[in-house]
Amino acid sequence: MSETSLKNVTIAKRRFELRRDRIERMMRQVLPEPLTSHYVVIGRHRYPPKQVIALVTGLDRADFTSHQARRVLMGLGFAVGRREARPYTVGGESRLPEGRQQASAPNAGVRENRGRELAETLRSFPGQWVAVKDEELLVAAPAPGEVVGWLARHDQRADSMFRVPEDELALSGIAPL
């Protein structure tokens, strides 16, 4: 199936005409909800596919599956993906959720790689306020109140919240002359 900026789809026995540019415009005004497993990239944010389809169609999320939402959004040319399983600690030993396997890298290497991934992700949000947990970006917004509000609405806790530097000068901590 070729990518298109306009797609006629049937979801929950209802027909919709979805346009990529309208979805992008609509989602600019919306902060992403917490990700569970799947996501779609719209602009600089990763959204749960069901959040996007529910907002653009007005359908209840129980009326369609994540797979259906992903397929529709892929057909419109959006990148979709699956969130990697994060290890959790039991008695000081790092483990993955049942059924998942991790590459044979030491924990320090895994943490270092996650730190690099986070730094790369944060480059896309200059001047934005962000909340981070377990070296994963939870949310980014223009104002700290929006980040705090998002955390409260979604019953999330962050390890840290900060403003991403706007440029290399701000990153260095050197004051402009």
- pLDDT tens column, 6-54: 889 999 999 999 999 999 999 998 999 988 889 999 988 899 999 999 9
* Domain identity same for 69 and 112: no
Could you give the percent of the chain with pLDDT greater than 90? 49
Residue 70: pLDDT over 80: yes
* Domain identity same for 12 and 56: yes
The pLDDT assigned to 177 comes to 55
Q: Determine the Cα–Cα distance for residues 135 and 86; give it in Å rounded to an integer.
A: 10
pTM of the predicted model as reported, rounded to 2 decimal places = 0.66
Q: Work out the pLDDT band at 109, boundaries 50, 70, 90.
A: low
Indicate whether 155 belongs to any domain.
Answer: yes
* Domain identity same for 76 and 114: no
Buried b (16+ CB within 10 A) or exposed e, 122-142: beebeebbbbbbebbbbbbbe
Distances (CA, A) of 99 to 33, 92, 95: 26, 20, 11
Indicate whether 100 belongs to any domain.
Answer: no
The pLDDT assigned to 169 comes to 66
Q: State the maximum Cα–Cα separation within the chain, in Å, rounded to a whole number.
A: 63
Residue 94: pLDDT over 60: no
* Residue 64 belongs to domain spanning: 6-82
Number of structural domains found in the chain: 2
